[in-house]
Chain A
Amino acid sequence: MLGAKYMPGVDSTPKTDLPVLLPVKESARRGQLFCDMGGRLFLDVKPQHLVWLMLVILLWSGAAQAASKYGVVWQFQTVFKWTPFILKGFALNILISIFAMVIGTVAGAALGLMQVSLLLPVRRGSWVFTQFFRNSPWLVLLFSVMLLFPFELDLGFAVIPVPDWTKAVVGFSLPIMANISEVVRGAVVSLPSGQWESAESLAFSRRQTMWMIILPQCVKRMIPPWINWYCILTMATPLCSIMGVEESVTHTVQALNAEGDKPELLPVFYGFLLFIHFVFTYPIARYSIRLEKMYAVKI
Chain B
Amino acid sequence: MLETIGPFFQKLYEGSGWNFIIFYEAYEYDRFVAAIWVSIQLIIACLAFSLVVGIVGAWAQGAKSRFIRLGMAGYIQFFRNTPPFVQLLTFYFVVGTITPQVDMGGYYEPVIGAFGWAVISLGFFAGAFNTEIFRSGIEAVPTATVEAAEALGYSRIKAYIYIILPLAFRVCLPALNNNLVNLLKTTTLAYAIAVPEMMYTANQIWSDNVNVPEMMIVLFLYYIGLVGILVWLMHRWEHNMRIPGYG
Contacts and interface: CB of A to CB of B under 8 A. Distances in A.
Interface of A: 16, 18-22, 27, 30-31, 33-39, 41-42, 45, 49-50, 53-54, 61, 64-65, 132, 135-140, 143-144, 147-148, 231, 234-239, 241-242, 249, 263, 266-267, 270-271, 273-274, 277-278, 281-282, 285
9 contacts: A33-B64, A45-B73, A49-B74, A53-B78, A140-B223, A143-B219, A148-B216, A274-B82, A285-B80
A263 B206 CA distance: 33
A132 B224 contact: yes
B93 A41 contact: no
A270 B86 contact: yes
Contacts of A34: 62, 143, 146, 164
A242 to B, nearest CB: 6
Given A139-B191, A267-B94, A35 B143 contact: yes
Contacts of B220: 132, 136, 140, 144
Interface stretch (B104-112, B116-124, B151-159, B232-240): B151-159
- Residue from B62, B86, B188, B220 with most neighbouring chain A CB atoms (10 Å): B86
Given A38-B62, A231-B81, A266-B93, A30 B150 contact: yes
A41 B83 contact: no
Contacts, number: 155
Nearest to A242: B192
Interface string B5-22: 000000000000000000
B90 interface: yes
B89 interface: yes
A27 B159 CA distance: 13
B205 interface: no
Given A137-B186, A267-B94, A37 B62 contact: yes
Nearest to A65: B98
Contacts of A39: 135, 139
Interface string B196-228: 000100010010000011001001100110011
B73 A41 contact: yes
B70 interface: yes
Contacts of B86: 238, 249, 270, 273-274, 277
Interface of B: 58, 61-62, 64, 69-70, 72-74, 77-78, 80-87, 89-90, 93-94, 97-98, 135, 138-139, 143, 146-147, 150-153, 156, 164, 181, 185-189, 191-192, 199, 203, 206, 212-213, 216, 219-220, 223-224, 227-228
Contacts of A135: 181, 185, 223-224, 227-228
B62 A33 contact: yes
Contact of A140 (B74, B143, B146, B188): B188
B80 A19 contact: no
Dominant SS among interface residues on chain B: helix
A137 B199 contact: yes
A242 B150 CA distance: 53
B84 A235 contact: yes
Given A34-B62, A64-B98, A139 B153 contact: no
Given A34-B62, A41-B73, A137 B223 contact: yes
A282 B94 contact: no
Contacts of B152: 19
Contact of A22 (B69, B77, B150): B150
A271 to B, nearest CB: 8
Contacts of A277: 81-83, 86
B83 A235 contact: yes
A31 B146 contact: yes
A20 B86 CA distance: 52
A36 B64 CA distance: 10
B135 A38 contact: yes
B85 A19 contact: no
B85 A282 contact: no
Contacts of B73: 41-42, 45, 50
Contact of A137 (B156, B164, B188, B212): B188
A35 B138 CA distance: 10
Contacts of A136: 185, 220, 223-224
A31 B142 CA distance: 12
Contacts of A42: 73
B83 A45 contact: no
A266 B153 contact: no
B20 to A, nearest CB: 16
B97 A143 contact: no
- Going nearest first, the 7 A-B pairs with the smallest beta carbon separation are A38-B61, A37-B62, A137-B185, A235-B83, A139-B188, A137-B188, A270-B90
A37 B97 contact: no
B83 A237 contact: yes
Nearest to A135: B227
A266 B97 contact: yes
